[in-house]
Amino acid sequence: MSIEECQASSEATFLDVCGFGMYNIQHRIEHQGATYPAKAVMGRAFWHVDETVACAADLHGEGGQHAMKRLAEVGFYPPPAASPAASASTGTALGPVVTVVPCEKNTATAFATGPQPAGTGCRSEADLMRRLEEQLRGLGHHPGRLRIQPASGEGSFVTDTYDATSNVLYEVKEGANRESVRMAIGQLLDYSRYRTPLPHLAIVLPEWPGQDLADLVQSTGMALIVGSEAGFVGLPEVQKLPAPRTSRP
């Protein structure tokens, strides 16, 4: 339940409610593809058990390690350890930094495109993403976005919808033409290489693109999702998805 509370708000709000600061977060846990501040999650979990608020001071040092052990006992594990020199917000020489952020945090464009009529494309894609995320929540999934900071130090960027429950990364396009499909394929190949474990990939279009383009998507191993008045057709089920690529170039 404490993780659900963190998902329902920003991490900063969750930390504030639980009495934990935003800085010096040394331990994180990973659950269904997203990471969370371990001490705050454990402290809030203690509160749900006996309404005793575990503050940051209760979990410093050995207490933090104790929290990690208790979380592991119920299936939550820390992500791979990083170098102490690694930054939580910037890429490092050891590799990129990828974090799962709430849907409402996606305020930047993930991929630059050419000029479009005043706002139409942005509104159309944003509406498709909103509807997709609503449908995923209705299925009990936890959609978010991936914020990627390359190791090169260039500016970070945010992807389209990422389903943390089933580790599926979606790329949403307002058009169903060849240019849109080819761009979506390239973007997904670019974004997915930063994420560990490698996510399943899916392209979301507002309408059926035709058999030739559907065949193109299928040849890449990606799923094709098509919007309709009744919802999205072709949402992948985890057990039916082909295994993601196991190696990177």
Helix, strand, or coil (residue 203): strand
Q: How far apart are CA 43 and CA 45, in angstroms?
A: 5
- pLDDT for position 163: 93
pLDDT tens digits, one per residue of 43-61: 666 655 544 444 444 444 5
Most confident of 18-22, 135-139, 178-182: 178-182
* Residue 121 · residue 112 · CB < 8 Å: no
The mean-pLDDT minimum among 16-25, 103-112, 195-204 falls in 103-112
- pLDDT for position 53: 43
Q: Is the pLDDT of residue 239 over 90?
A: no
> Backbone dihedral region of 123: left (phi > 0), alpha (psi from -120 to 50 degrees) or beta?
alpha
Select the more confidently predicted residue: 104 or 156: 156
- pLDDT for position 108: 42
Q: How far apart are CA 160 and CA 148, in angstroms?
A: 12
Q: Is the pLDDT of residue 147 over 70?
A: yes
Q: How far apart are CA 244 and CA 196, in angstroms?
A: 11
Q: Per-residue pLDDT averaged across 192-221, rounded?
A: 95
The 157-163 sheet, strands edge to edge: 97-101, 143-149, 157-163, 168-172, 200-205, 223-228, 231-233
- The separation between CA 144 and the C-alpha centre of its own chain, rounded to angstroms, equals 5
- The separation between CA 133 and the C-alpha centre of its own chain, rounded to angstroms, equals 12
Looking at residue 239, what DSSP letter applies? G
Select the more confidently predicted residue: 145 or 109: 145
Helix, strand, or coil (residue 95): strand
DSSP string for 3-48: HHHHHHS-HHHHHHHTT--SS----EEEETTEEEEHHHHHHHHHHH
Q: Per-residue pLDDT averaged across 146-162, rounded?
A: 88
All domains of the chain, ordered by start, with CATH?
2-73 (no CATH), 97-240 (3.40.1350.10)
Q: Per-residue pLDDT averaged across 112-137, rounded?
A: 69
Least Cα distance to 24 among 75, 81, 88, 102 occurs for 88
Q: Is the pLDDT of residue 243 over 60?
A: no
Q: How far apart are CA 113 and CA 171, in angstroms?
A: 14
Looking at residue 177, what DSSP letter applies? S
* Residue 207 · residue 161 · CB < 8 Å: no
**Residue located via tokens 């995320």:** 133
- pLDDT for position 192: 94
